[in-house]
Amino acid sequence: MTTQSNTPAGWYPDPHGAAQTLRYWDGAQWTEHTNPAQQAAGQVPQQQAAPQQPAAHIPHQQAADPKVQRQVQQQAGVAAGGAGGGTLFTEPVLVVNQKAKLIELTNEYKVMDQGGREIGAVTEVGQSALRKIFRFLSSWDQFLTHKLEIRDAYGQPQLLLTRPAKIFKSRVMVTRPDGSQVGEIVQQNMIGKINFAMNANGQQVGAIKAENWRAWNFAIVDHADNEVARITKTWEGLAKTLFTSADNYVLQIHYQLPEPLLSLVVATALTVDTALKQDSRGWN
């Protein structure tokens, strides 16, 4: 299988879905060389390794969820494919469903693989009781600072997202749990189709491009403007639509990405809603 990409040569999760297997990518195509994931893990370049628990140690395997499978295949239009490595950074498809609440005081999301097995979560942190009251009584909370934690299946933080207080354009800073910076996601415009730049080490490594003015679906491209991933907002059902502000998304990553682009893409799927602060119907 040949794929056009800028991904450096190295060991990556098998794209054919072989469990706990790494396959060697020579910089232009996948080779026939494979290794068990645990044995080959040390050969993965340091800069390519995302902060995560090894796939072999993910908690007890959950049953597939037909509802999530329909969300991925029928609503998002993503064809069923091979399983990934079972973590936030090794799955080709991530399903991000906001927990529905009649009164939303804290943003919380469940992250699943394409089969509906929970592999992570996102939760808003750092909110005081006064802040929650303020959020309940007004819509001005959207202009204040928001902090989110991306956690793995064990509940361990993997990425931290901070969106400073904004008036017009949004900026989201992405860091590791140890405080080291991954990069930032910066809103580029306010009129028309909303675009974001993904920056790392002072350079733009990618972009997020809304495909319509309501900012429901997004294409994610690399620094050369090649599409590497896609975010699709899916229908949450009539009851949720009428009575809650819960939003559901499907992230499809087209091929294994290098760091820091991979972490920024994963963060992006969980940031778009908070960054734009859309209301329950997707209007800005």
Domains of the chain by start residue, with CATH? 10-47 (no CATH), 57-276 (2.40.160.200)
**For residue 278, what pLDDT band results from cuts at 50, 70 and 90?**
very low
* CB 260 within 8 Å of CB 200: yes
The mean per-residue pLDDT over the stretch 179-207 comes to 93
DSSP 27-54: SSBEEEEEEEHHHHGGGS-GGG--S---
Q: What is the dihedral of CA 223, 227, 229, 231, to 10 degrees?
A: 110
Q: CB under 8 Å to 201, separation ≥6 — which residues?
A: 183, 260
pLDDT given at position 173: 95
What whole-number percentage of the chain has pLDDT above 70?
A: 59
pLDDT grade, residue 37 (50/70/90)?
Answer: low
- Which residue is associated with the tokens 């068990």? 36
Burial string for 8-27 (b: 16+ CB within 10 Å, else e) reads eebbbbbbeeeeebbbbbee
Q: What is the pLDDT of residue 73?
A: 62
Average pLDDT for 193-218: 88
Q: What local confidence, expressed as pLDDT, does residue 200 receive?
A: 97
- SS3 state of residue 273: helix
Contact indicator for 254, 227 with CB cutoff of 8 Å: yes
d(Cα 123, Cα 150) in Å, to the nearest integer?
A: 7
- Amino acid at site 71: Q
With 50 as the cut, is the pLDDT of residue 222 above it? yes
User: Going along the chain, which residue ranges are E strands?
Assistant: 10-13, 21-25, 30-36, 93-98, 108-112, 118-125, 146-152, 157-163, 171-175, 181-187, 195-200, 203-210, 218-222, 227-234, 248-253
Please state which of the ranges 17-26, 95-104, 117-126, 186-195 shows the lowest mean pLDDT: 95-104
Residue with tokens 């017009």: 168
Task: Read off the pLDDT of residues 253-269 as tens digits, 9 standing for 90 and up.
Answer: 999 999 999 999 999 88
Closest CA to 236 of 223, 222, 250, 246: 246
| 109, pLDDT greater than 80 | yes
Alpha carbons 119 and 50: distance in angstroms, whole number: 15
pLDDT category at 204 given cuts 50, 70, 90 is very high
Q: Enumerate the H helices of the chain as residue ranges.
A: 37-40, 66-70, 129-137, 238-243, 261-269, 272-276
Q: Residue 100 phi/psi, 5° resolution?
A: -75, 130
Q: Give the residue, 27 or 147, on which the prediction is more confident.
A: 147
Which pair of tokens denotes residue 152?
A: 């793995």
**Spatial separation of the C-alpha atoms in residues 175 and 72, rounded to whole Å:** 29
pTM to 2 decimal places: 0.67
> What pLDDT was estimated at residue 192?
82
